[in-house]
């Protein structure tokens, strides 16, 4: 269950379509993200909870994973940590909800936690399709990582 799986590198060829895994429990948000990604030419698979996400991640190759860190049941952060362990090279976008600018205890900085367990980028809800695509493109950009303005 926990052995590191070798990624199938044959999956990638010049004609191969990028595949994205979206782990999101809200059906409307999941459907909205998939609709936009599919239009932009990404093959998109939707998982409605962390367990389904993990099972799907183990069965297919993904170029990118988008994970909601606020899901009922198993924590999205734990899922991110698992994905990072299984496939260290796959970028992970963490989605979070609202957080107050100052009043929150620094110990409750979920996005910083997401970064510590292996997220490579973040999206704070609510976000628009343009913001999703910017984050996706930035995550998949093979050039050296730079902090977005």
Footprint on residues 20-79 left by other proteins (CB under 8 A): 26, 28-29, 31-33, 35-36, 70, 74-75, 77-78
Q: Kindly state the tokens that stand for 5.
A: 């799986």
Query: Given its phi and psi angles, is residue 111 left (phi above 0), alpha (psi -120 to 50 degrees) or beta?
Result: alpha
- Contact, 67 vs 142, CB < 8 A? no
Nearer to other proteins, 3 or 8 (CB): 3
Say if CB 99 and CB 110 are below 8 A apart.
yes
Q: CB–CB of 22/47 below 8 Å?
A: yes
Per-residue mark of binding to other proteins, 81-110 (x: CB under 8 A):
xx-xx--x--------xxxx---xx-xx-x
Site for other proteins contains 5 (CB under 8 A): no
Helical residues (DSSP H) of 71-120, grouped into ranges: 76-86, 110-117
Contact 125, 96 (CB under 8 A): yes
Binding status of residue 127 toward other proteins by CB under 8 A: yes
CB of 84 to other proteins, least distance (A): 6
Q: Which residues bind other proteins (CB under 8 A)?
A: 2, 26, 28-29, 31-33, 35-36, 70, 74-75, 77-78, 81-82, 84-85, 88, 97-100, 104-105, 107-108, 110, 113, 115-131, 134-135, 138-139, 145-148
């Amino acid at each position: 269950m926990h052995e590191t799986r070798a990624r199938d590198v044959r999956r990638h060829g010049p004609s191969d379509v990028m595949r994205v895994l979206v782990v999101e429990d809200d059906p409307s948000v999941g459907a909205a993200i998939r609709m936009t990604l599919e239009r932009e030419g990404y093959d998109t698979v939707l998982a409605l909870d962390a367990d389904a996400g993990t099972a799907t991640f183990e069965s297919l190759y993904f170029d990118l994973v988008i994970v909601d860190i606020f899901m009922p049941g198993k924590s999205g952060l734990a899922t991110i940590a698992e994905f990072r362990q299984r496939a260290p090279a796959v970028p992970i976008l963490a989605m979070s909800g609202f957080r107050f600018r100052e009043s929150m205890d620094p110990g409750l900085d979920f996005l910083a936690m997401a970064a510590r367990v292996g997220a490579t980028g973040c999206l704070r809800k609510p976000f628009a399709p343009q913001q999703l695509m910017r984050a996706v493109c930035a995550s998949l950009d093979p050039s050296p990582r730079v902090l977005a303005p």
